[in-house]
Amino acid sequence: MENILYRLGNVKYKYSEDITALDGITLDIPGNKISAFAGTNGCGKTTLLYILNGLIFPSEGNVFYNDTLLEEKILSDTEFVRKFRSSNGLIFQDSDAQLFCSNVYEELTFGPKQLELDKAEISSRIESTAELLGITPLLKRSVSKLSGGEKKKVAIASVLTLNPSVLLMDEPTAGLDPKSQGILIDIIFELAEAGKTIIISTHDLGLIDDLKPLLFVMNESHQIESTGNTEDILADEELLYKVNLIHEHVHLHDGERHRHIHSHYKIHQHNSVKK
C-alpha cells in the first residue's frame, strides 16, 4: 500500500466571493516521492502549496496531512505546529515574500535558531548549503541588494538548512540560470533519494521532463485536468494544448504560413551508460 502523505477531498479556495483559486481538488500525494503540479498562470498552484504548508485553509473540503486534518484550529496546538513547521518547508515563488533579514548569513541562521540547534550545527549547515548552492561569496551581503536569481538561491538555502522532510517548491527554477537550474535538479534528486517528499509547482515542462514526478495537471477552471506519470502526460499533446502548457506556433516556411503545436522544452535523448 502506497504511503499517502496528503489526502485532499473536494478542496475549494476562494480569495473573495468572485475569485476562485481552487475548485474541487481531490487527490492523494505520496510521501517520500517527487510530485509536481503543472498548470498555467493563475490556475491555483501557489494557493494549493499555501494550503499544503498550512498557511491558509480550504474554504470548503478537507486536507489531511498524515492523519491530521489541517484546519484553522490546529494553529492553537503548539506541539503540532512546532513539529509541522520544522518538518515542512515552503520555498516561495516570490523570494521577497520569504526573505526578511538584513544580511544573507542572518537569513540562513534564522530558521535553524528557531529549531534550537547548537551553534556548531548551525554553522556547519550554513557552510555546506551555501557551498552546494554556490552562494558562499554572498554570505555577508545585504539581501535587498541581491539579484533576483541570487535571492532565489538564498531562499532555497534558507529552507534547506532546516533539513525538512517535506519540501514544497513553488516554481523553484524560475529566474535561475541554466547552471544553477542543473545544480538545483541534482539537489532535488539527492533529497528524493534520501527519502524526502518533494512537491513542486511549475509550468516548466523541461523541469518536469528532468524530474519525472508524479504529475497533477491543473486547468484554468482551477481543477485537476489529469494525473499520471510524466512520460504519459508529456506525450499527450492534446492535453498539454488544452491546459495551455504548449501553444500553437505560426511560422513562415518557404514563403508559406505554417501552424504547429510548439513547446520550448527539450526532449533529452540519453545513451545508456553502463556503470
Ligand X SMILES: Nc1ncnc2c1ncn2[C@@H]1O[C@H](COP(=O)(O)OP(=O)(O)OP(=O)(O)O)[C@@H](O)[C@H]1O
* Residue in 46, 88, 109, 158 binding ligand X, rule: CB under 6 A: 46
Closest of 205, 207, 140, 218 to residue 180, by C-alpha: 207
Query: Using the rule CB under 6 A, is 21 a contact of ligand X?
Result: yes
Binding mask 23-52 for Mg ion (x = CB under 5 A): ----------------------xx------
Tell me how far apart the alpha carbons of residues 97 and 158 are, in angstroms, rounded to a whole number. Answer: 13
State the nearest-atom distance from the C-beta of 47 to Mg ion, in Å.
8
Specify the residue for cell string 504529475: 215
Name residues contacting ligand X, limited to 180-209 (CB under 6 A): 203
* Gap between the Cα atoms of 208 and 195, Å rounded: 19
Taking CB under 6 A as the rule, does residue 169 contact ligand X? no
Query: Would you say 28 and 6 are in contact if contact means Cβ atoms under 8 Å apart?
Result: yes
Helix intervals (H) in 134-252: 148-160, 178-193, 205-211, 230-234, 237-242
Query: Which does residue 21 touch among ligand X, Mg ion, none (CB within 5 to 8 A, set by kind)?
Result: ligand X
Please give the grid coordinates belonging to residue 198. Answer: 518533494
The one of ligand X, Mg ion, none whose footprint includes residue 95, by CB under 5 to 8 A per kind, is none
> From ligand X, Mg ion, none, which one binds at residue 176 (CB under 5 to 8 Å depending on kind)?
none
Choose one: 43-51, 97-105, 158-166, 189-197; the region binding ligand X (CB under 6 A): 43-51
